[in-house]
Amino acid sequence: MGRITIAGWYDYMPEIFDDFSYLAEAGIMPENLKRQIVMRYGDLYTYHQDPSYIKQNIHDWVLINRDNWIKKWQAYTTEYKPLENYNRTEESTTTENGGWSGTIEQTTGATDAGSNSTQGSVTDDGTNSNTTTPNLTSSNSGGIETQVSAFNDSSYSPSNKTIDTTSNTQSGTTQTTGSIGNSQTSGSGGEYDTTQSGTLQGSDSRNTNNTQITNSNVHGNIGVTTSQQMLQAEMELRSWVLYDEICAMFESTFLVRVY
C-alpha cells in the first residue's frame, strides 16, 4: 500500500480536518486553513497512515493550542494608536446624599365666657319663741350584804348588810326667742365657658441624591521612544499572520518534512 500525502487525505477523507471549526473564535476560517495547509504542504506525507488516528491527533492538537491562538488574535485586533505609548484612564465617582424632614403644626382657638344670675328677696316679720321646762328626777339604790356560817352549821346566815341610795332631781325653764326680718338672698344661675380650638398638622420631607462621575484619559508619547521607532514596530507586528503560525505548527507536528 502506498503512502498518502496530506493532499491525498484532504481528497480521500476531508473530515480529518473537521475540528478546525474550534478555531473560529481565533479569527480562523476552517476552509481557508485547510486549503492553506494543502497548498503549502500537499506533497508531504503524514507520520501516521491510519485515518482515525490522524483525526484524533488533530482533534487533540487543536484543543491544546486553541486558547493561546484566541488570546493572540484578541491582542492582535485590539484597537490602539500606534504612535502613542502612554494611555491612562481614570474614573472617579462622587455621591452626595442629603435629606430634610420637618413637621408643621398650627393651632387656632377662641374662648367665650359669660354668666347668668338671678336675684330676689324674702322678708319675714315675726317672732319665734320656744320655752323648754325640764324636770328630771333620778334615783339609785343598792346594798352590800355579807354572810357567814357557824362552826356547827353548813348553811350561811347574814352577818351584816350595807344599803346605799342615791337620788338626783333637776328642774328649770329654758326659753329661746328670735326674730327674722329684712332678709335678702341672691344667687347666680350659672356661668359658662365656650372654647373652640383646632390643630392643623403637616409634614414635609425632601431627599437629595447627587452623583458626579468624572472620567479622564491621558494619552500620547511620553518621549522614551520616537515616533519613527514606534511606527517601525507597528509594521513588523503587522507582518505576523496567524495562519502562517498555525500552518507551520501543523507541518512540524504531523508531516514528514522530506521534499
Show pLDDT as tens, one digit a residue, over the chain (259 residues).
578 999 999 999 999 999 999 999 999 999 999 999 999 999 999 999 999 999 999 999 999 999 999 999 999 999 989 888 888 888 888 887 776 666 666 666 555 555 554 444 444 445 545 544 454 444 444 454 444 454 455 555 554 544 445 444 445 444 445 444 444 444 444 555 556 566 656 676 777 788 888 888 888 888 888 999 999 999 999 999 999 999 999 999 999 988 6
Contact in structure between 84 and 221 (CB atoms under 8 Å): yes
Counts of helices then strands in the chain (DSSP H, E): 5, 8
Torsion of CA 69, 73, 74, 77, to 10 degrees: 170
Residue 218's pLDDT is 87
CB 205 within 8 Å of CB 100 = yes
Q: Using the 8-state DSSP alphabet, how is residue 5 labeled?
A: B
Going from N- to C-terminal start, the domains of the chain cover: 6-85+221-256, 112-198
In eight-state DSSP terms, residue 134 is: -
> What's the pLDDT at 120?
45
User: pLDDT at position 111, please?
Assistant: 57
Query: Would you state the pLDDT for residue 115?
Result: 54
In the chain, DSSP assigns E strands to 45-46, 86-122, 126-132, 135-148, 157-171, 174-180, 183-220, 255-256
DSSP 158-181: EEEEEEEEEEEEEE--EEEEEEE-
pLDDT at 49: 93
DSSP state, residue 27: T
pLDDT, residue 221, reads 87
Greatest Cα-to-Cα distance within the chain, rounded to the nearest angstrom: 183
Position 190 scores a pLDDT of 53
How far, in Å, CA of 180 to CA of 182, rounded? 7
| Contact yes or no for 124/180 (Cβ under 8 A) | yes
Q: How far apart are CA 126 and CA 196, in angstroms?
A: 53
Query: What is the residue whose three cell numbers read 317672732?
Result: 127
